[in-house]
Structure 1
């Protein structure tokens, strides 16, 4: 009796059958898929340009300065700062606030200012960072 030789090739016929069945399924179901519409905003419905943030500067000695958009920086106390920021956000709820600390200012002072603003219920508070310093 002759020995049977091993076949060292892959039989691809079953794979072709499965691929053709999947192709038929996709061809039948593709026309049934409903397309969605996207309502894009028009220029007339565009929101207002965001306002520049109010900048709070923390100096090395812990003193605070408030710089409004387009204005000069002026010294303020923490209580006066909170009152002015509340008034600004009441007038414009989208008004952002950024805290800028001097590089040598104690970080705890910056955190205390941020914490106080959050306790008072002010929104949109962030930290201002300068890029490019190594």
Structure 2
């Protein structure tokens, strides 16, 4: 008698694993991820909540560099009481000079709520090219808080 049974009727151990079901599952998952991946990169219109947060405490008590964008899209750099109007191209050079003097200085971005999101992203990208690893965002508490 040929096949997996011997004379006593006991099954002979099989030495191979059937991987076809595993391949089928992996192909289905691949198709699912290929369909959903482009959807994950698209933005969804949301209305962001207003929240309150504790102010940042500086260990060195040094004045931060504040880079601002006003409603008209003009850029300003503030260090202490000194505020200077600058172009987007000048920001990187000035921030590099200020950080060379004191590398522990924090860099904060203050943007008008009516300025375009793209201008704030361009500003943050410019700061990143200037070598600023950590950029903070300045906000106000919601109305009624204090």
The normalised TM-score by structure 2 is 0.53
Q: CA deviation at 1:98?
A: 0.6
- The 5 A counterparts of 1:49-68 are 49-68=60-79
Of structures 1 and 2, the larger Rg is shown by 1
Question: Any conservation in 2 of the 1:50–1:94 contact (CA below 8 Å)?
Answer: no
**Are the equivalent residues in 1 in contact too, given 2:93–2:130 (CA < 8 A)?**
no
Q: Which residue of 2 aligns with 1:124?
A: 134
Q: What is aligned with 1:102? A: 112
RMSD: 1.8
Deviations 1:44-98 (A, max 9, x none): xxxx733121111101221101111132x22101121111110111110101111
Matches of 1:120 and 1:65 in 2, distance apart?
16
Which consecutive segments of 4 or more residues in structure 1 shift more than 6 A? none
Unmatched 5+ stretches in structure 1: 1-47
Secondary structure of residue in 2 paired with 1:114? helix
What is the rounded CA distance, in whole Å, between the counterparts of 1:133 and 1:126 in structure 2?
A: 22
Match of 2:132, SS state, is coil
Native 8 Å contact 1:54 1:67 kept in 2: yes
Which consecutive residues of structure 2, in runs of 5 or more, have no partner in the other structure?
1-58
Q: Would you say how many aligned residue pairs link Structure 1 and Structure 2? A: 86
Tell me the residue number matched to 1:85.
95
- TM-score (ref. length: structure 1): 0.58
Contact 1:99–1:127, Cα closer than 8 Å, also in 2: yes
